Amino acid sequence: MADNLAQARHDLAIANRVVSYEGIIDAFGHVSMRHPTKPDRYLISRSRSPEVVEASDIYEYTLDSEPVTPLPDGIRGYGELVIHGEIYKARPDVNAVAHHHNMSFLPFCNSGEELVPLYHMGAQIGEKVPFWDSRDEFGDTNLLVLKPEEGRSLAKALGPYWLVLMRRHGGTVAGKNLTELVFRTIYTVRNAELQLMCKAQGHALSPLTPGEAKMAWDRNLMPRPQARAWEYWSTRLKKAGEYPAGAPKKASKSAARGKAAKRQRPARKAARR
């Protein structure tokens, strides 16, 4: 986790933009992180599309999804804040959450077909991907997760896992830290895309064994691949002119990226901007 609030907000703005730039989230969807030093709070943007979020858009919320200080006049929060708050409450090991409606998830959300890990990167779906169906407890709704009890129900469906698919709606992903969350958000979608392609190819699926899935999960989350992925994503943002404004003066000591990652920041790209 980032060790100070300014860095955390900057990192969260990057994470918002990465999942947009890499094609996971469009106008809707949102990404949050637990407060770096106050575990009973979380950070999330005001109601804006992740692609345009800046550090200055990010506000603090209690785990009951109330703003810590009232939002400025005219500023609105996301409607589905309870997705985030209720998961942080139920899962002390979760420090970052993303919710989205990626097209490759939606056929699974519609049909209820179970996601299985089909290649080493797909092991990031975790041991099991549970479903949540708003109809089970709430009957006809607008599908969104707006009430605290809806958020609690979703968090319960997530259970000890790291991804929950929401019937006829989308998916919610959890991570131990922000880099892991972004990594999982991207590669769980890739695995879903692959499962659709495998089905179309017409053969039986050949998933990883539980042992393979566990070992591949561990390997993906080691510092080297995590740092490499973060460098890749953030460099792509910079090249595209999509990097958020206003990085904190003091260099990050973010454990999520580590020293090696810092050294890898591309001077050339910075200069080009």
**Interacting positions 11-50 with a second copy (CB under 8 A):** 26-28, 47-49
Q: Which is nearer to a second copy, 32 or 94 (CB)?
A: 32
Q: Which is nearer to a second copy, 167 or 176 (CB)?
A: 167
Taking a C-beta distance cutoff of 8 angstroms, is the pair 52, 21 a contact?
no
CB of 14 to a second copy, least distance (A): 15
Site for a second copy in 227-246 (CB under 8 A): 228-229, 231-233, 235-236, 239, 241-242, 245
Site for a second copy in 117-146 (CB under 8 A): 118-121, 140-144
Site for a second copy in 54-113 (CB under 8 A): 54, 74-76, 79, 101, 103, 106-113
Q: Which is nearer to a second copy, 6 or 106 (CB)?
A: 106
Buried b (16+ CB within 10 A) or exposed e, 77-101: bbebbbbbbbbbbbbeebbbbbbbb
The DSSP symbol for 122 reads: G
Look at the chain and count its residues. 273
CA–CA dist 172, 158 (Å, integer): 9
Taking a C-beta distance cutoff of 8 angstroms, is the pair 42, 7 a contact?
no
CB of 152 to a second copy, least distance (A): 20
Q: Give me the residues paired with residue 131 across strands.
A: 165
Structure tokens at 19: 């999942």
Q: Which of 22, 51, 80, 231 is catalytic?
A: 80
Stretch that binds a second copy, among 8-16, 91-99, 153-161, 162-170 (CB under 8 A): 162-170
Q: What are the phi and psi torsion angles at 171 (to 5°)?
A: -135, 155
Q: Which is nearer to a second copy, 94 or 157 (CB)?
A: 157
CB of 81 to a second copy, least distance (A): 13
From 37, 35, 56, select the one nearest 45 (Cα to Cα).
56
The DSSP symbol for 45 reads: E
Q: Which is nearer to a second copy, 9 or 34 (CB)?
A: 9
80 is catalytic: yes
Please count the residues of this chain forming the interface with a second copy, following the rule CB under 8 A. Answer: 79
Taking a C-beta distance cutoff of 8 angstroms, is the pair 139, 238 a contact?
no
List active site positions: 80
